[in-house]
């Protein structure tokens, strides 16, 4: 039994699950801020890719990881403001606008990576340091999972609570949700719908940009073309599966990243051959299932996807 | 007369100006990447049209774009945003290639149609899942088709990688067996890869146009796209029309997939496609969802796709540049207000382009 536990190593399993859930959760939180205010955000993938690239490029040239993280967040906000201008002010279809950003991100990161970074020979900026929280990190089981992490993972844990508080306990959150459910009523109550949507879309860029920094600055300390590899869409799935709530999205992200880890352990520990592709399908299939109303229906904010014209 | 001018503005001028603006944005990116835009674009042009065999290769790349552009456009006309063309392309390739390597020794006139039907059926069934989910449960087709795209990649990867399923014997990289010689689409231009699929794509354009504009099915499809409530009040089954439209859209995407197999690849690998499906959305937007407009739009994308690698070889500007050009073109097409503002058009087309006729929360007064 003990040998079995040693092989399964549940603590490291949970730890890796939490770490790999980091970018998913951050992007899902971003998508949530955006969609709660009534703007669909399928651009999470592109925003993360941009954040990963700009974060790495800035860290590379300034030799400072923290400036890199800040740059990732800022670049996410900038590219998200393009989504905001297009979809809120210019009334471009929000799906089209999001798609434009995803395509644009591949182009920008690809072109500038090739020109400035691909053949760079000097050493990279490395990865963000591990911080062990004093006292707490020595708690068995919980310590190694939660309190021996890197910056982006800590930030994610804090931001789950922050987004939850902002959305459900503040005036801003109430206004955000009002704009997402019934913008005309919100406007009548004196809320500037366009302003609220702008701020929320740009905030979503900051969150997804930070999620992008995970890939290049926390995980491997390098940038690779298209390194987000569709994780922005899994984040979208996590947001829906979590029913547009921060805690739900976090749980969904853990489920999705955990199923990957469990899949690989299944083969090494139990010698059970579940094709990895089937486990990979899980996030997408579960999302379709909740959208179809089985397992408790996921209901999007009522006005999501609809541009709002002022009177 | 006024209607004619309006048509000229929206169907010709705006897309044309958008393409020019898209290349202008691309030029800025080239300068920022420290290269000469003029050299990069002339290499792109040479790679797409004037080099040896370049034109034929451009037409080869244009072929899937025509079929996929039609697939997305037909969805748009019914108010459906089919982001899943990529996945339907995959499933169509899978089901088609299965038939094409399983049958042996029949004449081409039998084998090609069989494989085509299998591919189109696969794409149609896959797409109608999203259609049925929308019709039955109101699940938004954008989200379900995105999710189904990834499921389809994984299905393909599973089938192609697993011995005893579709994995060929004695191959170094996982792929399906080669298709039967009889199922190969005839070559049109000796010494090039141009194949009969290009002609099939050309024939599909008037067929789809006729289907949308001149048949009862097309009328229902447009009615549902225009106003679901009115369509329902007129006694049409909105749900059935949605499923049927998605199936038609998926059949075209599946046709693109199997034509690519029968004409170019001859087998299927497990690697993820080149993002044809996403480009196809841009093609349909640029074409303003008009089947005839799909032709020039697809030719543009085929040329970009084909010229990009030569440009990268000649000028060191990454082939990803064309993504910047494409994204910019879509911005200008989808936000005609920008074009109007840039050129101070007297009667700027300020109305929003209703992509999928989604409801705009606008004042009723």
Q: Inter-chain contact A277–B158, Cβ cutoff 8 Å? A: yes
> B337, B96 in Cβ contact below 8 A?
no
Count of beta carbons in the 10 Å neighbourhood of residue B155: 19
pLDDT level of residue B365 (50, 70, 90 thresholds)? very low
Show residues of chain A in contact with B361, CB under 8 Å: 183-184, 303, 306-309
What's the average model confidence in pLDDT over B116-126?
Answer: 97
CB nearest to A287's CB, from B137, B147, B161: B147
The position carrying tokens 């996030």 is A283
ipTM of model: 0.89
Spatial separation of the C-alpha atoms in residues B127 and B144, rounded to whole Å: 10
From A86, which residue of chain B is nearest by alpha-carbon distance?
A: B335
pLDDT at B350: 45
CB nearest to A96's CB, from B133, B285, B318: B285
Q: Inter-chain contact A291–B285, Cβ cutoff 8 Å? A: no
Q: Give backbone dihedrals phi and psi of B305, rounded to 5 degrees, phi first.
A: -55, -45
Show residues of chain B in contact with A284, CB under 8 Å: 147-148, 150-151
Query: Which three-class secondary structure state does DSSP give residue A130?
Result: strand
Q: Inter-chain contact A100–B359, Cβ cutoff 8 Å? A: no
Domain count, chain B: 1
For residue A23 the two structure tokens come to 């970018």
User: Residue B304 falls within a domain, yes or no?
Assistant: yes
Give the residues across from B195 on adjacent strands: B187
CB nearest to B133's CB, from A104, A230, A288: A288
> Is residue B339 over pLDDT 80?
no
Nearest to A91 by CA among B31, B275, B334: B334
Longest dimension (CA), chain A: 69
Show residues of chain B in contact with A230, CB under 8 Å: 150
pLDDT level of residue B351 (50, 70, 90 thresholds)? very low
Spatial separation of the C-alpha atoms in residues B148 and A103, rounded to whole Å: 19
> Is residue B208 over pLDDT 80?
yes
> B304, B322 in Cβ contact below 8 A?
yes
Cβ burial of A192 (10 Å; 0-12, 13-18, 19+) is middle
* Any B CB within 8 A of A282 CB: no
| Tens-place pLDDT, residues B129-143 | 999 999 998 888 888
| Tens-place pLDDT, residues A221-249 | 899 988 998 899 999 989 998 989 999 99
* Any A CB within 8 A of B151 CB: yes
Nearest to B72 by CA among B213, B253, B233: B253
pLDDT at B138: 85
pLDDT level of residue B363 (50, 70, 90 thresholds)? very low
> Is residue B150 over pLDDT 60?
yes
Quote the minimal CA–CA distance from A277 to chain B in Å.
5
Cβ burial of A4 (10 Å; 0-12, 13-18, 19+) is exposed
User: Residue B17 falls within a domain, yes or no?
Assistant: no
> Is residue A131 over pLDDT 50?
yes
User: Residue B14 falls within a domain, yes or no?
Assistant: no
Print burial letters for B40-64: b (CB count within 10 Å at least 16), e (below 16). bbbbbbebbeeeeebbbbbbbbbbb
User: Residue B104 falls within a domain, yes or no?
Assistant: yes
CB nearest to A90's CB, from B34, B155, B338: B338
pLDDT at A100: 92
More confident call, A118 vs A105: A105
User: Residue B40 falls within a domain, yes or no?
Assistant: no
| Tens-place pLDDT, residues B254-280 | 999 999 999 999 999 877 566 787 889
| Tens-place pLDDT, residues B21-74 | 999 999 999 999 989 999 999 999 999 999 888 999 999 999 999 999 999 999
* Any B CB within 8 A of A108 CB: yes
The position carrying tokens 């093609």 is B283
Nearest to A265 by CA among A253, A279, A250: A279
| Tens-place pLDDT, residues B268-317 | 987 756 678 788 988 999 998 999 999 999 999 999 999 998 999 999 89
* Any B CB within 8 A of A183 CB: yes
Print burial letters for A20-49: b (CB count within 10 Å at least 16), e (below 16). bbbbbbbbbbbbbbbbbbbbbbbbbbbbbb
* Any B CB within 8 A of A230 CB: yes
Q: Inter-chain contact B143–A236, Cβ cutoff 8 Å? A: yes
> Is residue A65 over pLDDT 90?
yes
Show residues of chain A in contact with B157, CB under 8 Å: 277
CB nearest to B327's CB, from A103, A225, A288: A103
Size of interface A-B (CB pairs under 8 A): 163
Nearest to B257 by CA among B123, B159, B350: B123
The position carrying tokens 């039907």 is B117
Q: Is B164 left (phi over 0), alpha (psi -120 to 50) or beta?
A: left
| Tens-place pLDDT, residues A258-302 | 887 777 777 666 666 677 788 888 888 988 888 887 666 667 888
Spatial separation of the C-alpha atoms in residues A282 and A50, rounded to whole Å: 27
Question: Whole domain around residue B64: which residue ranges?
Answer: 60-315
> B289, B77 in Cβ contact below 8 A?
yes
CB nearest to A104's CB, from B143, B319, B324: B324
pTM of the model: 0.90
Q: What is the DSSP secondary-structure string of A142-176? A: HHHHHSEEEHHHHHHHHHHHHHHHHHHHSHHHHHH
Spatial separation of the C-alpha atoms in residues A33 and A297, rounded to whole Å: 20
> B71, B132 in Cβ contact below 8 A?
no
User: Residue B179 falls within a domain, yes or no?
Assistant: yes
Nearest to A214 by CA among A183, A235, A186: A235
pLDDT at A62: 92
For residue A239 the two structure tokens come to 């947001």
pLDDT at A5: 65
> Is residue B355 over pLDDT 90?
no
What's the average model confidence in pLDDT over B108-131?
Answer: 96
Percent of chain A that is helix, strand, coil (3-state, to 5) = 75, 0, 25
Query: Which three-class secondary structure state does DSSP give residue A261?
Result: helix
Q: Is A46 left (phi over 0), alpha (psi -120 to 50) or beta?
A: alpha
Q: Inter-chain contact A110–B319, Cβ cutoff 8 Å? A: yes
User: Residue B130 falls within a domain, yes or no?
Assistant: yes
| Tens-place pLDDT, residues A202-217 | 999 999 999 999 999 9
Mean pLDDT of chain A: 89
R_g over Cα of chain B: 21
> Is residue A121 over pLDDT 90?
no
* Any B CB within 8 A of A287 CB: yes
Query: Which three-class secondary structure state does DSSP give residue A148?
Result: strand
- Compute the half-sphere exposure of residue B175: CA atoms within 13 Å on the CB side of its CA: 15
User: Residue B5 falls within a domain, yes or no?
Assistant: no
Spatial separation of the C-alpha atoms in residues A162 and A173, rounded to whole Å: 11
* Any A CB within 8 A of B146 CB: yes
* Any B CB within 8 A of A237 CB: yes
Quote the minimal CA–CA distance from B185 to chain A in Å.
32
Quote the minimal CA–CA distance from A59 to chain B in Å.
19
What's the average model confidence in pLDDT over B104-121?
Answer: 93
Quote the minimal CA–CA distance from A3 to chain B in Å.
32
> Is residue A191 over pLDDT 70?
yes
pLDDT at B76: 94
From A274, which residue of chain B is nearest by alpha-carbon distance?
A: B158
pLDDT at B276: 81
pLDDT level of residue A143 (50, 70, 90 thresholds)? confident
From B359, which residue of chain A is nearest by alpha-carbon distance?
A: A306
- Compute the half-sphere exposure of residue B357: CA atoms within 13 Å on the CB side of its CA: 17
Residue among B14, B129, B131, B147 with most chain A CBs within 10 A, to mutate: B147
Read off the DSSP letter of residue A216.
I
* Any B CB within 8 A of A18 CB: no
Mean pLDDT of chain B: 88
Spatial separation of the C-alpha atoms in residues B301 and B292, rounded to whole Å: 15
């Amino acid at each position: 039994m003990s040998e079995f536990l040693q092989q399964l190593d549940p603590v490291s399993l949970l730890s890796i699950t939490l770490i790999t859930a980091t970018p998913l959760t951050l992007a899902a939180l971003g998508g949530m801020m955006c969609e709660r205010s009534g703007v669909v955000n399928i651009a999470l993938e592109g925003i993360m890719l941009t954040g990963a690239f700009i974060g790495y490029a800035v860290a590379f040239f300034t030799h400072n990881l923290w400036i890199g993280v800040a740059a990732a967040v800022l670049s996410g906000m900038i590219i998200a403001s393009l989504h905001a201008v297009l979809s809120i002010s210019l009334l471009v279809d929000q799906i089209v606008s999001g798609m434009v950003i995803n395509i644009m991100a591949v182009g920008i990161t690809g072109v500038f990576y090739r020109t400035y970074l691909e053949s760079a020979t000097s050493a990279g900026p490395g990865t963000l340091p591990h911080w062990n929280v004093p006292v707490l990190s020595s708690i068995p089981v919980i310590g190694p999972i939660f309190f021996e992490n890197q910056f982006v993972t800590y930030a994610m844990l804090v931001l789950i609570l922050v987004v939850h508080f902002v959305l459900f306990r503040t005036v801003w959150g109430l206004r955000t949700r009002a704009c997402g459910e019934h913008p005309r009523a919100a406007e009548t109550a004196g809320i500037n719908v366009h302003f609220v949507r702008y701020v929320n879309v740009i905030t979503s860029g900051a969150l997804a940009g930070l999620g992008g920094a995970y890939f290049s600055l926390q995980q491997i300390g390098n940038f690779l073309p298209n390194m987000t590899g569709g994780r922005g869409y899994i984040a979208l799935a996590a947001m829906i599966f979590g029913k547009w709530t921060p805690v739900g999205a976090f749980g969904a992200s853990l489920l999705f990243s955990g199923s990957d880890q469990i899949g690989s352990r299944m083969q090494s520990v139990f010698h059970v051959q579940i094709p990895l592709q089937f486990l990979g399908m899980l996030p997408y299939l579960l999302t379709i299932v909740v959208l179809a109303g089985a397992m408790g229906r996921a209901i999007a904010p009522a006005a999501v996807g609809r541009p709002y014209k002022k009177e | 007369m006024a209607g004619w001018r309006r048509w000229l503005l929206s169907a010709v001028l705006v897309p044309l100006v958008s393409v020019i603006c898209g290349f202008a944005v691309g030029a800025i990116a080239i300068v920022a990447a420290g290269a000469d835009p003029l050299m990069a674009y002339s290499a792109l042009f040479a790679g797409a049209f004037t080099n040896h065999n370049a034109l034929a290769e451009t037409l080869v790349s244009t072929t899937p774009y025509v079929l996929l552009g039609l697939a997305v456009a037909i969805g748009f006309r019914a108010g459906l945003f089919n982001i899943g063309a990529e996945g339907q392309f995959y499933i169509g390739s899978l089901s088609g290639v299965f038939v094409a390597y399983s049958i042996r020794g029949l004449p081409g006139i039998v084998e090609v149609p069989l494989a085509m039907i299998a591919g189109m059926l696969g794409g149609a069934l896959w797409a109608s899942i999203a259609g049925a989910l929308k019709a039955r449960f109101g699940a938004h087709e954008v989200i379900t088709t995105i999710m189904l795209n990834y499921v389809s990649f994984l299905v393909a990867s599973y089938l192609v990688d697993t011995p005893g399923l579709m994995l060929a014997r004695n191959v170094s990289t996982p792929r399906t067996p080669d298709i039967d010689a009889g199922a190969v689409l005839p070559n049109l231009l000796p010494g090039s890869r141009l194949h009969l699929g290009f002609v099939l794509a050309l024939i599909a354009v008037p067929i789809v146009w006729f289907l949308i504009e001149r048949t009862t099915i097309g009328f229902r499809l447009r009615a549902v796209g225009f106003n679901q409530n009115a369509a329902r009040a007129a006694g049409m089954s909105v749900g059935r029309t949605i499923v049927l439209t998605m199936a038609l859209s998926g059949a075209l995407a599946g046709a693109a997939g199997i034509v690519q197999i029968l004409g170019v690849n001859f087998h299927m690998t497990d690697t993820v496609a080149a993002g044809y499906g996403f480009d196809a959305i841009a093609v349909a937007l640029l074409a303003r969802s008009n089947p005839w407009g799909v032709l020039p739009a697809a030719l543009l994308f085929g040329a970009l796709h084909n010229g990009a690698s030569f440009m990268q070889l000649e000028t060191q500007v990454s082939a990803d540049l064309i993504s910047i050009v494409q994204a910019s073109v879509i911005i200008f097409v989808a936000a005609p207000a920008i074009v109007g503002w840039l050129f101070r058009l007297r009667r700027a087309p300020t109305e929003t382009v209703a992509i999928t006729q989604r409801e705009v929360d606008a004042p009723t007064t």
